[in-house]
Structure 1
Amino acid sequence: MVRFNLVITILLMISMAVKAELTSRMFDVRHVGYAEGLSSQRVFSIVEDGDGAMWIATKTGIDRYNGYTVKNYDLPGNFYYGDLAGRRLYLLYDARQGLFAYDHTGRIYRYSSIYDHFEQILHLGHLIQEEVILNKLCLDDDGTWWMGSDKGLYKQEADNRIVAVLKGQYVNDIAFAGESLFVGTSNGVWQLSHALPDRKHQLLEGWNVQTLFCDKPKKELWIGTFGSGLSVMNLNTSKVFTLEGQGNTFLHPIRAITDYDEHTILIGVDGGGVYAIDKDTQKARLLMNTKDDTDTYLRGKRHICRNQRRSGQHLDR
C-alpha cells in the first residue's frame, strides 16, 4: 500500500475581518510534476519566499517554482553513497535571514540570491564528531540555530560553538512561544527556556510526538503523534485533552499542524488527507484527501502547499 507523507505549508496572505467558513469549491488546483520540470516526485518540504516563489525540496535537490516554470538547484558537498540513498531534504525560510536547505545528515546550506546557488555553511555531524540524523532546523528571534536530531537537541552559540542542550532524545519537532522552546520527541514533550536552556522539564512522557504547533494567542500547544491521535495542552494549566471524534484516520501519523486563520487549525495526516479543525468547537472536518476528490474550499487569498511522496506536487490557491 502506497503511504503518503503529507506536509502542509500554509502562508497567510491577507487577514480576514470575519470568520471564514470552510465549505465548498474554492480551490484552483494545479499539479506540478515531472512534465512541469519537478526534479523528483518525492517531495519533503515546501516554503514560500518573500517574492512569492515556491521552493520545493525533493529527493534529488531543490526546485524553485514561480507559478510558471520550475528551476532546479543542486546542493554541493562530498557525499557517501549511503547519504544519497536515503537522502531527505528540507527547507527553512526566515524573512530576515533568508532561505536555507538542510538534509538528514546535518548539512545546512544558505541560498545566495546574488549568485543564485546554495552553499554549505555548516555540517552538524562533523562539528559534534558523530553521525547524526537532522530532523528539524529552526531559527529563533535572536538568529540562534536550534537543531533537533536523533541524538538530541543542539544549539549554536554566539561564538559558533555547537552545544548539546537535550541529550539522548530523538527530536522530531521544535516550536517557539515567547521565551519558551517546546521540543517534541519520540518519548514526549520538553519545555526549555531560550535564555537558560539548562532549565528544562518534561511536560509529557511516553508519547511519540511527530509535530508541534503553538497557538500563542490561545496559549495552547497542539501535539500530533505517531499512532495516538491529536491532543492539545493548555500552557497555563499544563492540562492535556484529546480532541473528541477524531476517528481512526487520526491514528495515522500526524505530519503537520498549522493555523489557517484565528479560528481554524489545519492538520496533515499521513495517508489521510488534510483536515480543518474549528478552534472553538474542536470539531474536525476533512478538507481534502490524497485523491483530491473532496468538495471543500478555503475562503480568502491564501496558498496551501501539499506534497505527496509518489504523486508529485499540488499547489492549491
Structure 2
Amino acid sequence: MSSDESNELDHIAKEIIMTATQTNNGNMSSAQEAEVNAALAELDLESIEALETVTGIDELEMAGEGVVQEPEDEPEGEPETAEAANADAIVSEDELDELEMEVDKAEAYASQESAAVGASADGSIKKEGTTTPKKSGAPRASTPRTPRDMASVPAEHFVLTGDATAMSDEDKSASKAAVMAATPGQKKVAEKFENVFQSMAAGRAPSKYTMTAFAALDASGTATSAEIIAAFKTSGVGEGTARSQCGQMMALFPVLGVAERDGKSLKLKADSNIAAYLRKHIAA
C-alpha cells in the first residue's frame, strides 16, 4: 500500500469514527450518512482489511457505548446470630451446683476465721499482732473447723444408728470405713455425701438442697419424688434443677441411713442419727 492510499484510509477512518460518534449522539444528518456510505463503497476488500489494521474496527463498534461494570461479589459467610453470640453465656445446672457447694465451704471457713480474730468478749476490737490477757473462769467454747478432707472427719459422725459414745474407738473406726466404702459413684451425689459429714464435724447445716429435701421428707415421714421436686421449686429453683436435685437426694438419703427407698418414694428412718442432726438445723 502506497503512502497516498494510507493517508486516504486514515482520512476515511477518522470520518467514520466521527460519524459513528454523531450517530450515537443522534446528531448525524442524512447527507453525512450518505457520504460515509459512498466512501465505504469505494473501498475494496484489501483496503477494508488495511483499514481494520490501521484503526482497529472494534473501536467503531464500541464508539459511544457505555462501560458496564460487573457488581462486586457479596462478602461470603453468614452474620452471627444472637443465639451463637450468647452460647457461652449459658451456665449448666452442674456448674451452679458446684458453685453453691463452694459458697457453702467459703462461708464455713470465713465464719471460723471471724470467730478466731473477731471481737473480744468485752466488746473491744482485737488488733492483729496483739495478745489478749487470759481471764479466769470457764474457758470459751471454740468453733469447730470444717474438715478439708474426709479422713479428718471424726469417726463418731459415721455411726449411722445407735449411741456412738457407747462404742469403742475400734468399732467407730470400723463404722467409718464401712460408710466410706459406700460412697456414691455419681460425682454430684458424692459431693453432697461428703458435705453432710464435713458439716456435721463443723456443727453447721449441710447444703441447702440437702436441707430442703430433708424438710419435705421429715414433714410427714414419707416423700415422693414429685413432692421433693415441688419443695425445690417452692424454694425458688427452676424445673430442671429441681428434678436434677431430687434425683440426687433419692440416691443420697438411703446411703446416709436417713431413709429407705421404695421406687419413687422415701420413708424416713426413725433411728437415723444423721436425720436427728438435720432435724435440729431445720428449726435453726
Q: Which structure has the higher relative contact order (CA within 8 Å, separation 6+)?
A: 1
TM-score, normalised by the number of residues in structure 2: 0.24
Larger-gyration structure (1/2): 2
Structure having the higher helix fraction is: 2
